[in-house]
């Protein structure tokens, strides 16, 4: 009985040591799982925030590109307007050249008129006889020629208006082109930042996925420990129950007096003999001891 109890106690000690080691490993895994989960959740949160930044830059890039398209759309009619103004200017220029073709210089006409008027004013009357009509007629022709210059000058003024109008349209086109260039630079900057943020978000998501894989592995390890504990715990409980029952029997024997104890132990030995169990020397003494004593 004592040997059997000792074996059971040793086995229970081994199983309890195994269970303690398994629980220790399980607690270590719980700590690792907690840290891995925190790392995974942090990385997922960072990846989402980084992706949001990338999306903001993409939205801004698209908004700028739409504005560029709108400006380009408005540029088309302006180029048509500029073509029309260049054509009008070319026609005005040609008209002026045509007007001047065959005309004397305005300055020369003015000088001729001045000279004739001075001659009329300063020449004595007797010397003017016979020449006065001729000079008056020449002066009248020169004034008429000068009058003709007014139409040309009006056309010159119109040409200046065309030039000013053309320059205004060119300035508008230049301003729009400058704005397109500035916006294109901004768009490119947002595009590059968008790519960087998307790449960063992908890297963070990959690290989060790797952490999740480690998390799943650790959970599986915990499950394996749980399965192992489920195998040995019933055996441990059975051994504990058996040892408790043996301890109760020992306790009962202790409470008996020596004669009662001897009788109880003898009954236990007889029970073993009836069951065909192997009997120890102590058991044989308990069964046959009294008879030997009586024979003496």
Give percent above pLDDT 70 in the chain.
70
Place of tokens 């020169």: 142
Does residue 66 sit within a domain?
yes
Phi/psi of residue 104, nearest 5 degrees: -75, 170
In degrees, rounded to 5, the angle at the alpha carbon of residue 91 between the alpha carbons of residues 85 and 94 is 140
Does residue 205 sit within a domain?
yes
Confidence grade of residue 273 (pLDDT, cut at 50, 70, 90): confident
Does residue 9 sit within a domain?
no
Taking residues 143-167, report their average pLDDT. 73
Alpha-carbon distance of 274 to 269, in angstroms, equals 9
Does residue 169 sit within a domain?
yes
Q: Check residue 279 and report its DSSP letter.
A: P
Does residue 258 sit within a domain?
no
Does residue 270 sit within a domain?
no
Taking residues 197-226, report their average pLDDT. 94
The yes-or-no verdict on residue 86 having pLDDT over 50 is yes
Alpha-carbon distance of 117 to 146, in angstroms, equals 15
Alpha-carbon distance of 207 to 228, in angstroms, equals 32
Domain around 63: 25-234
- Give the chain's domain count: 1
Q: Looking at residue 185, which CATH number applies to its domain? A: 1.10.287
How many CA atoms, within 13 angstroms, populate the side-chain half-sphere of residue 119?
16
Place of tokens 């990959």: 206
The pTM assigned to this predicted structure is: 0.55
Residue 117's alpha-carbon distances to 125, 141, 150, 278, in angstroms, are 14, 13, 21, 169
Taking residues 210-218, report their average pLDDT. 95
Taking residues 240-251, report their average pLDDT. 60
Does residue 89 sit within a domain?
yes
Q: Which residue has better confidence, 113 or 17? A: 17
Which of 255, 292, 291, 252 shows the shortest CA–CA distance to 268?
A: 252
Place of tokens 């007096």: 257
- Backbone torsion region of residue 129, taken as left when φ is above 0, otherwise alpha when ψ lies between -120 and 50, otherwise beta: beta
Q: Which residue has better confidence, 185 or 158? A: 185
Confidence grade of residue 19 (pLDDT, cut at 50, 70, 90): confident
Does residue 247 sit within a domain?
no
Alpha-carbon distance of 27 to 52, in angstroms, equals 37
Average pLDDT over the chain, rounded to an integer? 79
Confidence grade of residue 278 (pLDDT, cut at 50, 70, 90): confident
């Amino acid at each position: 009985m004592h040997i059997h109890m000792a074996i059971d106690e040793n086995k229970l000690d081994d199983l309890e040591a195994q269970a303690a080691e398994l629980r220790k490993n399980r607690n270590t895994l719980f700590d690792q799982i907690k840290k891995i989960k925190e790392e995974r959740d942090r990385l997922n949160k960072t990846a989402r925030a980084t992706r949001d930044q990338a999306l903001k830059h993409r939205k801004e890039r698209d908004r700028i590109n739409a504005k560029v398209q709108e400006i380009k759309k408005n540029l088309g009619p302006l180029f048509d307007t500029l073509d029309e103004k260049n054509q009008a200017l070319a026609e005005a220029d040609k008209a002026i050249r045509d007007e001047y073709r065959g005309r004397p210089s305005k300055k020369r006409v003015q000088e001729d008129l001045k000279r004739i008027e001075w001659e009329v004013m300063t020449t004595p009357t007797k010397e003017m006889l016979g020449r006065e009509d001729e000079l008056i007629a020449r002066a009248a022709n020169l004034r008429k020629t000068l009058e003709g210059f007014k139409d040309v000058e009006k056309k010159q003024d119109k040409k200046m208006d065309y030039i000013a109008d053309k320059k205004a349209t060119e300035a508008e086109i230049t301003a729009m082109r400058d704005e397109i260039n500035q916006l294109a630079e901004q768009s490119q900057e947002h595009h590059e930042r968008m790519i960087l943020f998307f790449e960063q978000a992908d890297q963070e998501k990959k690290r989060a996925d790797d952490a999740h894989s480690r998390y799943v592995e650790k959970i599986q390890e915990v499950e394996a420990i749980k399965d192992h504990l489920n195998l040995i715990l019933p055996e441990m409980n059975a051994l504990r129950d058996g040892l408790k029952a043996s301890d109760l029997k020992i306790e009962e024997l202790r409470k008996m007096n020596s004669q009662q104890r001897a009788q109880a132990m003898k009954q236990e030995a007889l029970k073993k003999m009836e069951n065909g169990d192997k009997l120890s020397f102590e058991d044989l003494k308990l069964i046959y001891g009294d008879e030997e004593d009586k024979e003496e």
